[in-house]
Amino acid sequence: MSGVTEVTGATEVTGGTGATGGNGASPAPSLDELAAVAGAVPDPELPVVTLADLGVLRAVRRGGDGRVEVELTPTYVGCPAVEVMREDIRAALAGRGVPDAVVTTVLSPPWSTDDISAEGRRKLADAGIAPPRAGARGPVFVELGRAAPAPVPCPRCGSERTALLSRFAGAACMALRRCEACREPFHHVKER
């Protein structure tokens, strides 16, 4: 996208569609405010966290034509929630006077569970969903053989004695596990 201004340092959307004219009306929201609005949209599959918490909101800019441009990176390339996220961002921004925001999907750099904020991890755990284990960015190495994976602690009681029930749960990015201590099932956001 050429002719864009990054969120950082931008103070006001001026000119173009969605901006307020010079006839005494209040100024248009700043890009920082619009980024906060877009970031506050709840994730459609995990509504306990926002898109900002998840780290999928990559940029909010003003294009050369004056339109607000938003970049979104899905948690998985085939994530079925992307279209809902896109429409929810557009609706939230329209509510702030930006009716024609352009929301695009970017795949590079790919999303990683390391992009989930500390607040997002806390919200997941509070909702009974085990957040992904923190790790280094980069490729995930798979050890062949019978090496035991690192334990996934139970978000309810904290026990590390948990078992994988299914590699797939309510969303492609989650697995279903059960705690052997409290016997409660729980979702786990898979590391990526």
pLDDT value at position 16?
35
pLDDT value at position 43?
96
| CB 35, CB 60: distance < 8 Å | yes
Question: pTM of this prediction?
Answer: 0.70
Selected residue with higher pLDDT from 145 and 139: 145
Nearest to 57 by CA among 45, 78, 42: 42
pLDDT value at position 1?
34
* Rounded average pLDDT over 162-171: 87
| CB 72, CB 106: distance < 8 Å | yes
Tell whether the model's pLDDT for residue 182 goes beyond 60: yes
Q: How far is CA 85 from CA 12, 72, 121, in A?
A: 24, 9, 20
Q: How far is CA 177 from CA 105, 121, 155, in A?
A: 31, 17, 11
